[in-house]
Amino acid sequence: MSLELLTTYGWTGAALFIWVALSIGSFLNVVIYRLPVMLNREWQAQASEILKLEPPEASSTEPFNLMVPRSRCPNCQHQITAMENIPVLSWLFLGRKCSSCKSPISWRYPAIELFTAGASIAVIAAFGFTWLGLFACLFTWMLISLTFIDYDTQLLPDQITYPLLWLGLIVNSFFVGIVSPHDALIGAIAGYLSLWLVYWGFKLATGKEGMGYGDFKLFAALGAWLGWQALPSIILIAASIGLLYALLQIVRSKQSAGQAIPFGPFLATAGWVTLIFRDTVLAVFLP
């Protein structure tokens, strides 16, 4: 946390904010895992209804959403207690193992919690404890969810991309936003249409789909938040990071040259970097 923030709010305020951010990261772990499962069950139920098939077994079990059931160990189904669900600390105190069956607990859970806290600190250091700072934190948390969901499933759920888009338009229209309402609206339109045109151009030329519709919606949301001026830099940064990642994966023999990779994480990363360093990024790409 920056010295100015510590001077203004003290160590107590900084510690409280970090704890809240870690707790948000813990909730994002739930969203990242459960939302794709919820969507899959919903799609199965809809398909069964349309095709007049027997409903899937999942529809007859206990409710499954972001609140219930309580988190369980995926190996032994041990229900996680409140003391076992403290962000980062529980993972360390449990020795990175389930308290019941001793199976390993993935390092990704505390990593996402710490990453969320670090990104939130960077946002508050940039915008302060203001309305814009709060909205920028929401922007950050939604991007983190989209990043890991897309990485895991190659899905960018409408349940996050649409609210992210509308929130960007609302913030820039009714609050002290990042860009003017006009630039936000043009950014949303240009963000969607630009990738939509690339998608159809690639499909007509090759007969293959180069990206998903979720990428259009995410890019539109980034345009709504950051304005149309930021779109060229965002796409260039995202493409550069994506290319480096793909080359690294090929070198490590993790995937073949023709294998698809999710583009959402790179768009989200580029968008967040542009949020924090917007003036610097625009000065580099739009001199």
pLDDT of 275 over the 70 cut: yes
Whether residue 254 is found in the same domain as residue 123: no
Helix (H) or strand (E) run with residue 163 in it: helix 158-174
Are 242 and 221 in a shared domain? Answer: yes
Q: Is the pLDDT of residue 62 over 80?
A: no
Do 125 and 135 lie in a common domain? Answer: no
Same domain as 122, residue 232:
no
pLDDT category at 1 given cuts 50, 70, 90 is very low
Taking residues 39-53, report their average pLDDT.
84
Q: Residues, the chain, total?
A: 287
- DSSP letter string, 42-58: HHHHHHHHHHTPPPPGG
Residues 6+ apart with CB under 8 A from 80: 70, 71, 72, 73
Q: How many domains does the chain have?
A: 2
- Binning pLDDT at 50, 70 and 90, where does residue 246 land? confident
> Are 195 and 211 a contacting pair, CB within 8 Å?
yes
Reported as a single tens digit per residue, the pLDDT across 79-102 is 888 888 899 999 999 999 988 898
The pTM for the full model equals 0.91
Q: Are residues 279 and 160 in the same domain?
A: yes
Parent domain of 31: 1-129
- State which of 129, 163, 185 marks the end of a domain: 129
